[in-house]
Amino acid sequence: MSPRAGVSSNYFSDLLVIVRRSAAQLVRSPSHSRRADAARRSARHVVQLTAILGAAIIALMYLLDETEIGWMPTRGTPGLWPLRILTDFGKSAYVLWVLAGLLLVVAMAAPTFRGTARSLWLGLGTRLQFIFFAVLAPALVGDVLKWIVGRGRPFVGGEGNVFNFRHFGGTEAFASFPSGHANTAFALAFAVSALWPQARPWMLVYAVAIALSRLVLLAHHASDVVAGALVGVIGAMAVRYWFAARRLGFAIRGDGTIVPLPGPSPGHFKRVAAGASAP
């Protein structure tokens, strides 16, 4: 199908319908018959992950955190500027604004198409919604945990005390646990990999690079980035279950495994673009 010429009088009404339906599908009652199996399987994975990484976090606090910050270059070292640029790719505000912008582009483009072409755009929109909320949900949880825990960043107060806490402090200096950048990076890596498994190795490299940058820049302790990764992955898993239970972007197999549904590919959009530009 080709896009309609210009912006018709129906464009904004179509846009409003698409936005309303997209929002409504996220809060509708779960309908997948295997959602209970998926919930049990996901719960097992969460418990296992929490037990393993939780033990690692405690071990790192007592055995490595103090030593590890001593290995890092002095904060503000001029040669670290590439890492200061890299680390911003894990900042939740930046990632969420990019995703929101992509969602806006999809929402504005979809009403200009009909039939299969519109379905492709809406399918992409659903997947972008998943990634957006898979990053947003753990980011919000992480912010609450930072406020509750109130752990000081490395060398706050001039000391390398890894047990420097000011609970409910609410200041940036005491917002070290968990790492927000690691939280966002691992949530994004999980979400993208959940939709496109072939991207998993690249997303893992991205997430690990962001986590390491936080250590080298002395923004966090090692246990902070592991805790951030844990919160990010569990949060993204919860959002994936929410979408799968509503048959949005994911299917649930008989054993409770959540798998991505076939979605729009670059090839699909190339064919749509070719059809739109054909005489």
- Over residues 1-60, the pLDDT tens digits come to 444 444 556 888 888 988 999 999 999 999 999 999 999 999 999 999 999 999 999 999
| Structure-model confidence comparison of residues 263 and 221, the more confident one | 221
Helix axes 35-63, 222-245, angle to 10 degrees: 180
**pLDDT (tens digit, 9 = 90+) per residue, 137-184?**
999 999 999 999 999 999 998 888 899 999 998 899 999 999 999 999
User: How far apart, in whole angstroms, are the C-alpha atoms of residue 1 and residue 158?
Assistant: 64
Q: Is 231 helix (H, G, I), strand (E, B) or coil?
A: helix
**C-beta separation of 187 from 232 below 8 A:** yes
Cis peptide before 178 (omega within 30 of 0): yes
What's the chain's average pLDDT?
91
Report the helix count and the strand count for the chain, using DSSP H and E: 10, 2
Q: What is the mean pLDDT of residues 86-90?
A: 97
- Residues with Cβ within 8 Å of 106's Cβ and at least 6 positions away in sequence, in order, are 121, 122, 124, 125, 128
Domain boundaries, the chain: 32-277
